[in-house]
Amino acid sequence: MKKVIIMASGNGSNFEAICKYFSNSKEIKISHLITDNPKAYVIKRAKKVGIEPKIIDYSTFKNKEEYNKALFNYLKTLDFDLIVLAGYMRILLEHIVKYYKNKIINIHPSLLPKYRGLNVIEKAFNNNEEYIGITIHYVDESVDTGKIILQKKIKIEKYWDLEKVEKEIHELEHKYYPQVIYKILKGGF
């Protein structure tokens, strides 16, 4: 049985989509949810599917180094095959990324290398991009620069507003992120 840790900071719609995808799997199990935000809605989603969330509250640490030390120490106690970042809003420090090289993936709501960082759907929309999409990539020592695993794009129709674009991006994420996780764990990427 392959075990997956999901790390999230907010709403948790990707978390829910991934859990649903693997809910009847006898090969892959979502074993843990880790969040840095004690008010994240993903906590309720985790409890709903029977996963007790681990909250490592970022606001209780002096700095990101102390937070990452606590996170790293916790990760080392777990048995898992893959870490999946799903709306996790912290940057993992270099030593964590190196220790778990090729075992951490992220999903980003743009066609990297364009629009790295935050608020990228809005940036792409405001720049009148013809296409927008998602990138699933391995996490490396920089932000949104890791080896690309999969990209999917959609054409932005002229009558779409920002809300519609965001909805379309989330549908791409929910469809393709679980498929990529499955393929990675089955040796396909």
> Alpha-carbon torsion 14, 15, 21, 27, what sign?
positive
Helix (H) or strand (E) holding 90: none
Tokens of 49: 């599917």
Q: Tokens at residue 80, please?
A: 């898992």
Q: Which of 72, 116, 117, 79 is nearest to 94 (CA)?
A: 72
- Count CB atoms within 10 A of the CB of residue 85: 22
User: Any idea which residues carry the catalytic annotation?
Assistant: 108
SS3 label, residue 142: coil
Helix (H) or strand (E) holding 1: none
- List Cα–Cα distances, 157 to 127, 135, 164, in angstroms: 14, 20, 10
Sequence-ordered alpha helix ranges (H) in the chain? 13-21, 42-48, 64-75, 94-99, 120-126, 162-185
